[in-house]
């Protein structure tokens, strides 16, 4: 089922790449190369580059529809947390934030309970959220993939049904990120169904059908077509390819075809 109100989204996660000196130019170039009004475009640079990207997009005629996102956010609004960045600090710099990325879960030990707190803080200040969920290789090989992802969704979104309009979920199979292994479109579609079924069990309106689900597993211009062909997938969370304007142009162009096809289907 394709929800008529589900936007098609392409978000670029730059991770620990770029500096304030070059991030703005890269953002402006991507904005010019991906001028697809039917696709929600988001760029998520490092914290130190947020202002540079915001200002570059504001100065670029094609940048007005490109949103800025943070790569994570702290679970408290203020306090003695050296080196951390709160949701309140992001106001004016970003309108989105990624939460629960697999690298944060792995390297910073983020649990579902902590991710839940982060989402709460983000929603409190009006940020939109991309929640990341996904299984490890050993989970998939043991037949636990669906249970793991469902548990992550449930734990991360406990008692947060009211934030559905500001929520997007990215399914990122950890075993397909930077490993040379690739997920198939059908894999992503099956997990999108698990995610929406879990949202329905949590009490989200429309059984979760109005929440966009993205695929995030080493997406490139060469692989995006398989995922955008799946009605359950509403775009991509792009990693390394989001640093390459040509790749982003190809990914967003393909997403635009899907967005227009779906819009036409809902009006026929």
User: What is the DSSP secondary-structure string of the chain?
Assistant: ---TT---EEEEE--S---TTTHHHHHHHHHHHT--TTSEEEEE--GGGHHHHHHHHHHSGGGTTEEEEES---SSSSSS-TT---HHHHTTT-SEEEES-HHHHHHS---HHHHHHHHHHHHHTT-EEEEEE---HHHHHTT-HHHHHHHHHHHHTTT-GGGGGGEEEEE--GGGSSSS----HHHHHHHHHHHHHHHHHHT-GGGGTTSEEEE-SS--TTTHHHHHTSTT--EEEESGGGG-HHHHHHHHHHHHHHHHHHHHHHH-
Write the pLDDT tens digit of every residue in 44-82. Answer: 999 999 999 999 999 999 999 999 999 999 999 999 999
CATH superfamily for domain 9-267: Aldolase class I (3.20.20.70)
Write the pLDDT tens digit of every residue in 208-234. Answer: 999 999 999 889 999 999 999 999 999
Regions of the chain with pLDDT less than 70: 1-4, 266-268
pLDDT value at position 205?
A: 87
pLDDT value at position 180?
A: 73
Structural domain boundaries of the chain?
9-267
pLDDT value at position 267?
A: 56
Catalytic status, residue 138: no
Active-site residue identified among 75, 101, 230, 247: 101
pLDDT value at position 6?
A: 94
pLDDT value at position 218?
A: 86
Active-site residue identified among 36, 60, 172, 230: 172
pLDDT value at position 266?
A: 64
Catalytic status, residue 75: no
């Amino acid at each position: 089922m394709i929800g008529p109100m589900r936007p098609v989204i392409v978000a670029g996660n730059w991770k620990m790449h770029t500096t304030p000196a070059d991030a703005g130019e890269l953002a402006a170039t991507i904005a010019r190369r991906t001028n697809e009004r039917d696709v929600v475009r988001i760029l998520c640079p490092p914290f130190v580059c947020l202002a540079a990207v915001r200002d570059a997009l504001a100065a670029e005629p094609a940048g007005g529809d490109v949103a800025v996102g943070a790569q994570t956010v702290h679970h408290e609004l203020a306090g003695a947390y050296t080196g951390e960045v709160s949701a309140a600090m992001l106001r004016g710099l970003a309108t989105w934030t990624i939460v629960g990325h697999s690298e944060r879960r792995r390297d910073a030990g983020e649990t579902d309970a902590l991710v839940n707190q982060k989402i709460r803080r983000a929603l409190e200040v009006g940020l939109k959220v991309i929640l990341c969920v996904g299984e490890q290789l050993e989970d998939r090989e043991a037949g636990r993939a669906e249970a793991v992802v469902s548990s992550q969704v449930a734990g991360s979104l406990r008692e947060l049904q009211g934030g559905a309009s500001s929520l997007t979920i990215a399914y990122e199979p950890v075993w397909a990120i930077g490993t040379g292994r690739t997920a198939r479109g059908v894999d992503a579609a099956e997990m999108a169904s698990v995610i929406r079924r879990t949202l329905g069990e949590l009490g989200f309106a429309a059984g979760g059908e109005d929440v966009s689900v993205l695929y995030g597993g080493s997406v490139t211009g060469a692989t995006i077509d398989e995922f955008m062909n799946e009605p359950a997938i509403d775009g991509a969370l792009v990693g390394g390819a989001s640093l390459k304007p040509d790749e982003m142009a190809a990914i967003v162009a393909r997403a635009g075809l899907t967005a227009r096809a779906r819009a036409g289907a809902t009006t026929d």
